[in-house]
Amino acid sequence: MKIYPKLILDALATVRYPGTGKNIVEAEMVEDNIRIEKNKVSFSLIFEKPTDPFIKSVVKAAETAILTYVGEEVDIKGNILVKTLKAARPHIDKLLPQVKNVIAISSGKGGVGKSTVTANLAVALAKLGNKVGLLDADLFGPSMPKMFQIEDVRPFTVQKEGRDLIAPIEKYGVKVLSIGFFVNQDQATLWRGGMASNALKQLIGDTDWGDLDYLLIDLPPGTSDIHLTIVQTLALTGAVVVSTPQEVALADARKGINMFTNDKVNVPILGLVENMAWFTPAELPENKYYLFGNGGAKRLAESMNVPLLGQIPIVQGICDGGDNGTPVALDENTITGLSFMNLAEKMIKQVDYRNKNLDPTHRVEMHKQ
Question: Closest CB to ligand ADP among 23 and 280?
Answer: 280
**Residues across the chain:** 369
Q: How far is the CB of 286 from ligand ADP (least distance, A)?
A: 18
Question: Closest CB to ligand ADP among 80 and 230?
Answer: 230
Q: Rounded to an integer, what distance in angstroms lies between the CA atom of residue 179 and that of residue 139? A: 6
Binding site for ligand ADP (CB under 6 A): 107, 110-116, 141, 143, 275-276, 312, 314-315, 318-319, 322
Q: How far is the CB of 263 from ligand ADP (least distance, A)?
A: 28
Q: How far is the CB of 289 from ligand ADP (least distance, A)?
A: 13
Q: How far is the CB of 109 from ligand ADP (least distance, A)?
A: 7
Q: How many CB atoms lie within 10 A of CB 365?
A: 14
- Write out the H or E segment, with its range, that includes residue 215: strand 212-218
Question: Closest CB to ligand ADP among 314 and 366?
Answer: 314
Question: Closest CB to ligand ADP among 113 and 271?
Answer: 113
Q: Rounded to an integer, what distance in angstroms lies between the CA atom of residue 199 and that of residue 138? A: 12
Question: Closest CB to ligand ADP among 81 and 319?
Answer: 319
| Centroid of chain to Cα 249 | 18
Backbone angles phi, psi at 336, to 5 degrees: -70, -40
Q: How far is the CB of 110 from ligand ADP (least distance, A)?
A: 4
Question: Closest CB to ligand ADP among 142 and 268?
Answer: 142
Which residues make Cβ contacts (< 8 Å) with residue 222, sequence separation at least 6? Answer: 107, 108, 109, 110, 252, 256
Q: Rounded to an integer, what distance in angstroms lies between the CA atom of residue 132 and that of residue 319? A: 23
User: In b/e form, how buried is each residue of 105-144, taking b as 16+ CB within 10 angstroms?
Assistant: bbbbbeebbbbbbbbbbbbbbbbeebbbbbbbbbbbbbbb
Question: Closest CB to ligand ADP among 50 and 325?
Answer: 325
Is 219 within 8 Å of 108 (Cβ atoms)? no
β-partners of residue 103 are: 216, 238
Question: Closest CB to ligand ADP among 70 and 312?
Answer: 312
Q: How far is the CB of 254 from ligand ADP (least distance, A)?
A: 16
Which residues make Cβ contacts (< 8 Å) with residue 164, sequence separation at least 6? Answer: 157, 158, 206
Q: How far is the CB of 35 from ligand ADP (least distance, A)?
A: 38
Q: How far is the CB of 276 from ligand ADP (least distance, A)?
A: 5
